[in-house]
Chains A and B, each alone.
Chain A
Amino acid sequence: MSTSLIIVIVIGVLLAGVFFWLIASYNSLVAVRNRYQNAFAQIDVQLQRRFDLIPNLIETVKKYMSHERETLEAVVAARSMAQAGLNAAKAQPGNPEVMAQLSTSEGQLNSVLGRLLAVAEGYPDLKASQNMMQLSEELTSTENKVAFARQGFNDSAMIYNTKRETFPTMIAAGIFGFKQASLLEIPVEKRHLVQEAPKVQF
């Protein structure tokens, strides 16, 4: 009688332990998953910020370099293309084709922006203007933010994946069906675009 009671109690305690452990594992997995999903949203936010800066840049630059109409128009065109790419990516996040489209238009925008900044080197008045100084700081910062958002996404996706794949949380991840997060990579065929992109001359 008393031994069976003890066995029942022991089993009950063990079951309760497993139950609470499962809850804890599930919650921690959700926490890291939300973190990497939020990091993904950051990339969009920062790309948009970058697009929003470009009209300011054009406005500032226009006063000084009216002769460079072509370059300016190329920037405006590349910006609206990249914006369209971003909108498409927002509508279907994770769709590989749309993501590839976005990275292509991003690369083009980078390249024409690089050209614009290179041309601006030839205008000392422009370079010395307070506006340009601040814009250049904002552009640098936004570039960094885009890069850091990607990097932050990859870092947090890695933490999530490690948690998902290591013992003992992998058991809970298996039970609740947590899927692997895929890291952001630049596809091989697009790599040349990124490598060529920023051409700033001195």
Chain B
Amino acid sequence: MNDNGYGNPQVSAVNFFEYQNKARRGTLRLSILFIFGVALTVVAVNLLVMVSLAFIYNMPLEDIPTLLIKGYFTKALIWATLSVLLVVGVMSLYRIVSLRGGGGEIARQLGGVQVPEDVQEFTLRRYRNVVEEIAIASGVPMPELYVLENEPGINAFAAGNKPENTVIGVTRGALNQLNREELQAVIAHEFSHIANGDMRINLRFVGIIFGIMGLGIIAGWIMRISLRRGKDGIPTLIFGLVLLIIGYVGVLFGKIIKAGISRQREYLADASAVQFTRQSRGLSGALMKISGVPAGAKLRDHKDKAQEFGHMLFGKGVSSIFATHPPMLKRIQRLNPNISKEDLENMKEHWAQQPPNGYLEDVALGFAAEAPSYPPRQPAQQSGQGQPYPQPNQGQLYPQPSQGQPYPQPNQGRPYPQPGQGQSYPQPSQGQPYPQPNQGQLYPQANRFSNLQTRSVNKKQENPILTTNH
């Protein structure tokens, strides 16, 4: 993690601007590479045209350079370049315009329900408040809010390409499982996508890549027509094939560069989230929960749509050169270098037995008043149409995914863990060999998490070992 060229490898509340600049430079570098790639495609097509002309007029290939200098090809090359640019340009514009819908449309396609301004339900109220806070911190106008009620995973998105039609959405799993600080960090991350114009950047790249693909489509037509002409069609068939290869190689490289840019924008958004909240603990906590909880960042419903809109979600697990997000552990370690792979594994085991509960953590942290009767709302069993807000189902505490999916329910039948009643904090059940060297601490590691957490948890649990720490 010391590959960033700065003395301090950690994004903190003091050096986030450095990291933002680094990510912006990364974007610029990749954009230049992208333009270079488009230029290379044009050059490749020009070469193809020259070779074809040489073939048609029975000229030896080695004469091409001299003929080029003499100006034999000039007209043909100008035409070739113009038609390539025309095809790419028109197709790109077509794609950009067709994808230009407002963010609300996308949110509804993902199964989002709009959160009204005067919402009273507690988690939604808190969600609204947190978004308002970050709108103030970032100076971005308040977007429309959506919640994906049926999703038990932790994820969020920002959609829309203009500030006026931008929306923000979060899953029910995020509202229930993240504490206030973490939710705030996730929202701040999404806001920085809006503030940095990432949706527009992404739209542009998607459009141009589609445009390059247009070359491949035209190549396909040429090949089909050539096939119909039988033996006479062989030369044009080869021409079409080479054009097809150029088009697809262009698309491939375009996609790799676009994914690289997308990853840079994720780092930029992480660093901007630290700017807006002036702390990195919330974001690293949220990322840890995403990689740790059983439901992860997955969107259970609308999987196809999730694929299509993957680039604008908060978290995504796959790591490859086509990945739109950097690896989770890398993102976490940029925020908190003390977290290791083993810590994540430990938390995973811990949360598998006892899913995190954001509200109880807030109570423990002193950010919320205790309310033992607080019932968090649950994702509905199936995609519930017609019912805009599923009722909180009593007795059932944690998100319940559809049958067949192994989602652990550690406290079936057990009452809700009640703060201030001896067992206030997620605790592995007794007698279970849960590897936890430091009991009573929120995260299984002596890291730099604030004393506040240990102190408040400790106070509630009356843990004699920890009291000596203070």
Contacts and interface: CB of A to CB of B under 8 A. Distances in A.
A136 B368 contact: yes
Summarize B's interface: helix, strand, loop or mixed: helix
Contacts of A155: 137, 139, 275
A202 B456 contact: yes
Contact of B134 (A39, A46, A148): A148
B370 A152 contact: no
A39 B132 CA distance: 14
Interface stretch (B50-58, B201-209, B371-379): B371-379
Nearest to B455: A202
Contact of B137 (A35, A133, A138, A148): A148
B371 A128 contact: yes
Summarize A's interface: helix, strand, loop or mixed: helix
A151 interface: yes
Contact of B132 (A136, A140, A145): A145
Contacts of B162: none
| Contact size range, A | 20 to 34
| Contact size range, B | 20 to 34
B32 interface: no
A202 to B, nearest CB: 5
Contact of A128 (B134, B139, B367, B370): B370
A141 B134 CA distance: 10
Contacts of B267: none
A136 B126 CA distance: 11
Given A137-B125, A137-B126, A140-B180, A145 B136 contact: yes
B367 A148 contact: no
Contacts of B369: 127, 132-133, 135-137
Interface string A95-115: 000000000000000000000
Contacts of B235: none
B459 A130 contact: no
B7 to A, nearest CB: 23
A52 to B, nearest CB: 15
B136 A127 contact: no
Given A137-B122, A202-B455, A202-B459, A149 B368 contact: no
Q: Which of B133, B371, B372 is the most central at the interface, judged by chain A CB atoms within 10 Å of its CB? A: B133
Contact of A156 (B125, B139, B276): B139
B129 interface: yes
A153 B322 CA distance: 38
Contacts of A148: 133-134, 136-137, 276
B397 interface: no
A128 B180 contact: no
A140 B137 contact: no
A30 interface: no
A133 B374 contact: yes
A99 B177 CA distance: 41
Given A144-B133, A145-B133, A149-B136, A134 B122 contact: yes
Nearest to A141: B129
B95 interface: no
A119 interface: no
B370 A127 contact: yes
A200 interface: yes
A152 B136 CA distance: 7
A93 B134 CA distance: 24
B122 A141 contact: no
Interface string B255-274: 00000000000000000000
A28 interface: no
5 contacts: A127-B370, A127-B371, A133-B369, A137-B368, A202-B459
Interface of A: 35, 38-39, 42, 46, 127-130, 132-138, 140-141, 144-145, 148-149, 151-152, 155-156, 200, 202
Interface of B: 122, 125-126, 129-130, 132-134, 136-139, 180, 184, 275-276, 278, 366-374, 455-456, 459
Instruction: Please give me the 5 A-B residue pairs with the lowest Cβ-Cβ distance, nearest first.
Output: A141-B129, A148-B137, A136-B369, A133-B371, A144-B133
